[in-house]
Structure 1
């Protein structure tokens, strides 16, 4: 009887069944993501209509009727390579970007010395990429080389006046060189200072807390243009006679301190999000204040505020264009400065230059955003490799 009762037991695993035909493929993806409901369908139709209205003219202007090479403005006249457009305008003047590309990258940096910023950029990428890849070992050594050794090497390369390198004054710097230098220094300086300010604002010592609050609220209460103007114009008035600082150095300090004030509030939000039990658990283990912050609190707090930190970095990267107000020319400033070149004065020159600058800014900002998303997923407690 027992044997007959067990005669129906399966002796081998059943083969997996294929998914229903309507659950995979392009059609299923379109149905689930674009036409899942009436509202989604309406928005999809509106989106497709807008794309159909905007994309063809944009492609026509940027690629089909664009002018890619030329010696002067005559190459970007109304008659484009593809002929006269119905409304009388030509395509993009990429010949202007091609002719001014060196200035867009380096400003007025001497042509024969441009190998120096190129070498500094290569060293920066060579040290940054391994630091961003989690599987690459020796992160400590990599960080020391990137944040402590590279700035010294880059200073020697860019400024010169030692080891046989000719001196290049900072007023000759410009373009993407200024943008990346301001951004890298601002990021490297603002994060540690912001962490210290956030810890100081939450400190139980009244004097430390008061000083941090005054600094943060003062900097956050004024626009960056005001900080740059004060650093460039007003600061020399308060210095002793004969004492001055390089204008580029003043801009670096102003941008770094401005970003640090905002970074402090981002980090403070992460500190407040940590449960009280984490602090009490660290105290019960006998950890000192800095041990508790370094090993227990800050790793959790910084993980929670990765989006806010990267958002501050992206905002600072774009705000470097404001140094134009103190007669320093970053990428956007150099592009705008070249609009006055009579050899390239055409109706399409400003739009072409601004779109090129926008594309460069977008490329860097999008890269930072995507990497932050990668780090969020990797550091997520429930994330599995």
Structure 2
């Protein structure tokens, strides 16, 4: 009579099994684990004291920050400036509406079972930018106009990143297709465009867009500084995006192209229905990595006089009324960037798992 199957040893499953496999699998892993635990235990106490227990959260002025902990009162007192910049207080409801619509459009993308979530995503890529075009600057439908020179803080960071991401992906895709074109003229133009823009650092592009671009425009035509920065960011980012998409196109087996041609599909139908969906799926990590890099590079607009969230914090910590709060300001900026970058990273991982077809390159 066969004996009934026995349960795995307790040391091989559960938390103990995981620790044996990942933390104590060898002598050097054991040493590294013990050293890491020692450092965490040693540092966690002073860090918690500075962040929470000895920190100052309430008060009316910098004189209330008397302890040795963090002065989070500084963040609370200047939070409005960090988010809206110089945008008029009475009109900040417009920005709040856009923040709300942004959350409505993209929060459902993290919920697998949320009904019609793809339509919310489509709204975020089409309707949301259109609403923002009329709502944020004003001047339409009786709304008071607000010059872009008054935009700043987190609002400006999100505008730069969102518009840059939204425009760079399709433009980069077209450039990638052009670089693989059989027509020498189209391929040459795309190659020159991509290589020139990739060879120039973004800080130089911003200087050129801010100073040199107006010199090439017809007399009487001029763009605001923010628009010039957006043009430079989009063109620069599209060159990097083109190379990411080109890598995905090259990873598609030749048989896919031949099968699409055998079905009688034209070039654009072959690319739009067969090749590009597979190529973009393969390079989701590269695309999101490029988006995250762009989001962080928006801080460079400070050099042309645009105050994003980092510029807003830097301009505030120089105020004599708030001394020795630079660390708190930079921690706040780092936390804001981490939230958005981590969110994009997690969404890309969820999208990878959903679109995974078992294709191996």
What TM-score bracket applies, with the shorter chain setting the length?
Answer: over 0.9
1:362 aligned to 334, 338, 345, which one?
A: 338
Distance 2:215 2:227 in 1: 16
Q: Distance in 2 between matches of 1:360 and 1:146?
A: 21
TM-score by length of 1: 0.88
Do the aligned residues in 1 keep the contact of 2:95 with 2:136 (CA within 8 Å)? yes
Q: Is 1:325 the counterpart of 2:314 in the alignment?
A: no
State the shift of 1:286 in Å.
Answer: 1.4
State whether structure 2 residue 21 is matched by structure 1 residue 25: no
The aligned counterpart of 2:32 is 43
2:97 corresponds to 1:116? no
- Does structure 1 conserve the Cα–Cα contact (< 8 Å) formed by 2:167 and 2:234? yes
Contact 2:81 2:153 in 1 (8 A): yes
Q: CA deviation at 1:228?
A: 0.8
Tell me the residue number matched to 1:380. Answer: 356
Deviation at 1:162, TM superposition (A): 2.1
Find the aligned partners of 2:30 and 2:116 in 1 and give their Cα distance: 51
The CA deviation at 1:43 is 1.6
Distance 1:65 1:375 in 2: 42
Give a deviation string over 1:315-358, Cα, whole Å, max 9, x none: 0000000000100011111010101212112x2x0000000000
Q: Report the 3-state secondary structure (helix = DSSP H, G, I; strand = E; otherwise coil) of the residue aligned with 1:344.
A: coil
Give 5+ residue unaligned stretches, structure 1.
1-7, 81-89
Q: Are 1:169 and 2:147 matched, yes or no?
A: yes
Aligned partner of 2:131 in structure 1 is 153
* Residues paired across the two proteins, number: 359
Change (3 A) 1:203 1:382: closer
1:296 corresponds to 2:274: yes
Alignment partner of 1:100: what SS?
helix
Separation of aligned partners in 1, 2:5 and 2:281: 40
Secondary structure of 1:222's match?
coil
Number of the residue aligned with 2:195: 217
The question of whether the paired residues in 1 share the 8 Å contact of 2:109 and 2:118 is answered with: no
Does residue 371 of structure 1 match 2:347? yes
- CA distance in 1 between partners of 2:15 and 2:113 (Å): 35
The CA deviation at 1:24 is: 2.6
Structure-1 residue corresponding to 2:48: 59
Task: Spell out, residue by residue over 1:167-212, the C-alpha distance to the aligned partner (whole angstroms, 9 max, x if none).
Answer: 1111111010001111111111111111100000000111111111
- For residues 204 and 235 of structure 1, the distance between their equivalents in structure 2, rounded to whole angstroms, comes to 32
- Separation in 1, partners of 2:19, 2:213: 60
Q: Contact 2:164/2:237 (CA < 8 Å) preserved in 1?
A: yes
- Report how far residue 19 of structure 1 moved: 3.1
User: Which residue number corresponds to residue 91 of structure 1?
Assistant: 69
Q: Which residue does 1:125 correspond to in 2?
A: 103
Q: Measure, in 1, the Cα distance between the counterparts of 2:212 and 2:121.
A: 36
Distance 1:33 1:144, change over 3 A: closer
CA contact (8 A) 2:109 2:347 kept: no
User: Over aligned residue pairs, what C-alpha RMSD do you find?
Assistant: 1.9
1:72 is matched with: 61
* Deviation of 1:250 (Å): 1.2
CA distance in 2, matches of 1:356, 1:197: 37
CA distance in 2, matches of 1:351, 1:263: 34
